[in-house]
């Protein structure tokens, strides 16, 4: 059963999510300033860490960039020893992007700092409030995935 929510509340939820997203992005950029990596490279590395080795085409779909732009991005990342191109053992015609140790280290450090920031922000919340927030965000995320198909 679906039902519509009051427009004013939906508008408030959208606004809060937009502001939260903006703050998280800004904080993420501040953290990235201490690393030899750009924001788009960080996004690409995150997808590669989450999904495993991907082709340029698969990666470009995830990061919503043209294949040519993604190729340039991967070229720079490869030059900085963050990733390497590897031939797929099952099909030698296929080239996949593999995260190297330096790329993994940067991702882990940056995410750790982002989590520490969020931990500080949530320090005045009760454990129950944080659990509820996490559950509701998970439900929202799943609903978004389900309705985007």
pTM: 0.81
Residue that has been written with the tokens 């030059």 in this structure: 79
Q: Is 13 inside a domain boundary?
A: no
pLDDT given for residue 2 in this prediction = 65
Per-residue pLDDT of the chain (149 residues; tens, 9 = 90+): 567 888 899 999 999 999 999 998 899 889 999 999 999 999 999 999 999 999 999 999 999 999 999 999 999 999 999 999 999 889 999 999 999 999 999 999 999 999 999 999 999 999 999 999 999 999 999 999 898 77
| Dihedrals phi, psi of 5, to nearest 5 degrees | -95, 155
Q: Is 4 inside a domain boundary?
A: no
| Dihedrals phi, psi of 33, to nearest 5 degrees | -60, -20
Residue that has been written with the tokens 């940067």 in this structure: 106
pLDDT given for residue 125 in this prediction = 97
Q: Is 1 inside a domain boundary?
A: no
E-strand spans in 12-145?
A: 83-87, 95-99
The pair of structure tokens assigned to 31 is 């953290």
Q: Is 111 inside a domain boundary?
A: yes
pLDDT given for residue 124 in this prediction = 96
Q: Which residues pair with 87 in a beta bridge?
A: 95
Q: Is 14 inside a domain boundary?
A: no
Q: Is 16 inside a domain boundary?
A: no
pLDDT given for residue 4 in this prediction = 83
Q: Is 12 inside a domain boundary?
A: no
Q: How far apart are the first and last CA of the chain?
A: 19
pLDDT given for residue 148 in this prediction = 77
Q: Is 21 inside a domain boundary?
A: no
d(CA 105, CA 28): 16
Domain assignment of residue 110, given as a range: 28-147
CA atoms within 13 A of residue 77's CA, in its CB half-sphere: 31
d(CA 83, CA 39): 15
């Amino acid at each position: 059963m679906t039902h519509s929510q009051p427009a004013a509340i939906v508008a408030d939820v959208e606004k809060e999510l937009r502001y939260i997203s903006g703050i998280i992005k800004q904080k993420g950029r501040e953290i990235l300033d201490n690393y030899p990596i750009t924001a788009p490279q960080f996004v690409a590395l995150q997808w590669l860490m989450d999904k495993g080795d991907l082709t340029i085409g698969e990666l470009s779909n995830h990061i919503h960039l043209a294949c040519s732009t993604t190729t340039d991005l991967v070229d720079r990342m490869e030059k900085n020893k963050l990733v390497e191109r590897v031939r797929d053992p099952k099909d030698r015609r296929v080239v996949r992007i593999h995260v190297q140790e330096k790329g993994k280290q940067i991702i882990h450090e940056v995410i750790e700092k982002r989590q520490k920031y969020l931990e500080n922000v949530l320090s005045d919340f009760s454990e129950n409030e944080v659990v509820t927030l996490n559950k509701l965000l998970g439900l929202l995320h799943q609903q978004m995935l389900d309705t985007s198909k």
